[in-house]
Amino acid sequence: MAIPLGGITIINSTKDSLYWEIYGYKSVGKGVRNMAFTKVTDMKTNATKDTIMGWLLKPNDTIRPHKLDTSYKQFAIKKNGLTILFFKKTVEKLPPNRRLTAKDIFRRVDVTPKQFDSLKYIIEIK
């Protein structure tokens, strides 16, 4: 197993708890999965259901997300930048199978590798 590599810090300076997801630069199409939910399978019954995981970026929290196979700096170079989407906790009220669209986005951050470098790999949501 590879050692997780970081290279990015995300700071939530809002009053909202946020879900977030990182993609290649402007690679988000017509919708993204609702990241509030994940599929969990009960090993005894083999039944699979959508469950709210609760992995939120809470107000005034800082996270350092990582990838197992590369750093976000290398990922940004390979993908010509990063697109980071933030959604309010209200996405938990939407059906798990419903794709989140532009109208559901709370904040969208698109940064090129050069911009990412100038920000010193810190993204602050205000």
Average pLDDT by consecutive 10-residue portion of the chain (126 residues)?
A: 67 96 89 89 87 87 88 91 95 93 94 92 94
State which amino acid sits at residue 34.
Answer: N
Q: Give the model's pLDDT for residue 5.
A: 55
Strand partners of residue 75: none
Domains: count for the chain: 1
Q: Give the model's pLDDT for residue 6.
A: 61
User: Do residues 8 and 124 lie in contact, with contact meaning Cβ atoms separated by under 8 Å?
Assistant: no
Q: Give the model's pLDDT for residue 86.
A: 96
Distance (Å, rounded) from C-alpha 86 to C-alpha 97? 18
**Does any domain span residue 1?**
no
User: Do residues 7 and 121 lie in contact, with contact meaning Cβ atoms separated by under 8 Å?
Assistant: yes
Distance (Å, rounded) from C-alpha 78 to C-alpha 64? 20
**Of 32, 125, 29, 22, which is closest to residue 74 (Cα–Cα)?**
22
State which amino acid sits at residue 93.
Answer: K
Q: Which domain holds residue 25?
A: 9-125
Q: Give the model's pLDDT for residue 48.
A: 86
Q: Give the model's pLDDT for residue 107.
A: 96
Q: Give the model's pLDDT for residue 1.
A: 45
